[in-house]
Amino acid sequence: MSDRLRVKKTYKLYVGGKFPRSESGRSYPVASPDGTELANAALASRKDARDAVAAARKAQKPWAGQTAYLRGQILYRVAEMLEGRAGQFAEELADATGTEPAESLWTVEQAIDRLVHYAGWTDKYTSVLGGANPVAGPYFNHTKPEALGVVAIAAPQGDPLLGLIEALAPAIAAGNTVVVLASEAKPLPALSFAEVLATSDVPGGVVNLLSGKVAEVMPHLASHADVNGIDLGGVDDAALAADLEAEAAGTLKVVRRPGKAGTSLDLLRQWTDYKTVWHPAGMAAAAGGGY
């Protein structure tokens, strides 16, 4: 038996398709529920949050401009890649949460199923949420769902993989790009998931993953003028959540409050904007009528 030391994994941020360390050089220790030291995670700063938003904004229009079919295929590819590493993620999840290996593997399988589920929604939800509207006049009136833009997400604290995927999958399925702050105490499964994203077909900047303190990072995202929506599902402090919602109001963000449940369609609708188009019909169209 070899007596060599095992190489410890270095966990970094995931921004713009790359793996930078925090610009501040800071890190913080991550331990299992029984106190066993697992690793150090990067402690994201305000600059890291701003860099992540810039990367998400740059990637948003190209991502939303892809066909719905292609977005679905990319999400399906992420599910494939996660399934290929299910054993590794089950082990990391068991270490992070203290659950039994069988339960952790079940959770990973549920995360894979969620990705497949939203992959199937990408080319269907617009037909459900959009459509033709009745009008009194010689016009066609159509409502077309569109991506909201950049969404900032505080991932659930106690569910570091499945909760993360349930939060980000509907947002990117709808053509948004995301900046996600992983579970503060259990960030390692999320940071490993960044490796799955990097080795799948997801373009850099579509998903950006940060680790660090909710109270330090989320206020910068809540007040950032280039963020269009914010998910506070992972903010367990009610006073902080209220402050973040007030900050978000200053730039008219869509806010998903902590504890708000919803169906798959509700979550897709949450991060969707709508464009209504008028077009002349019949004689008005022949005469060159306007909008």
pLDDT on residue 106? 97
User: SS3 of 33, please?
Assistant: coil
Alpha-carbon span 264 to 234, nearest angstrom:
18
pLDDT on residue 137? 77
pLDDT on residue 291? 43
**232: CATH:** 3.40.605.10
pLDDT on residue 284? 47
What residues have CB less than 8 Å from 287, skipping those under 6 apart? none
pTM for this model (two decimals):
0.91
* Position 8 in a domain: no
Distances (CA, A) of 133 to 44, 141, 279, 280: 46, 5, 12, 13
Question: Domain tally for the chain?
Answer: 1
The one-letter code for the residue type at 136 is: A
CA 187 from centre of chain: 15
User: SS3 of 184, please?
Assistant: coil
> What is the C-alpha R_g of the chain?
21
- Quickly list H helices, the chain: 46-65, 68-84, 86-97, 101-121, 125-129, 162-173, 188-198, 214-223, 238-249, 264-270, 283-286
pLDDT on residue 9? 83
* Position 31 in a domain: no
pLDDT on residue 250? 95
**What are phi and psi for residue 86, nearest 5 degrees?**
-60, -40
Supply the range of the domain harboring residue 229: 40-286
The one-letter code for the residue type at 99 is: T
**Token code pair at residue 214:** 């909710």
pLDDT on residue 27? 95
Alpha-carbon span 238 to 99, nearest angstrom:
27
Mean pLDDT by 10 residues, the chain (291 residues): 75 97 95 94 97 98 97 98 97 96 96 97 91 77 90 96 97 98 97 96 97 98 98 96 97 92 89 86 53 43
pLDDT on residue 1? 55
* Position 33 in a domain: no
* Position 218 in a domain: yes
**Token code pair at residue 226:** 């280039």
CB 148 within 8 A of CB 176: yes
Alpha-carbon span 111 to 163, nearest angstrom:
8
pLDDT on residue 133? 75
pLDDT on residue 135? 77
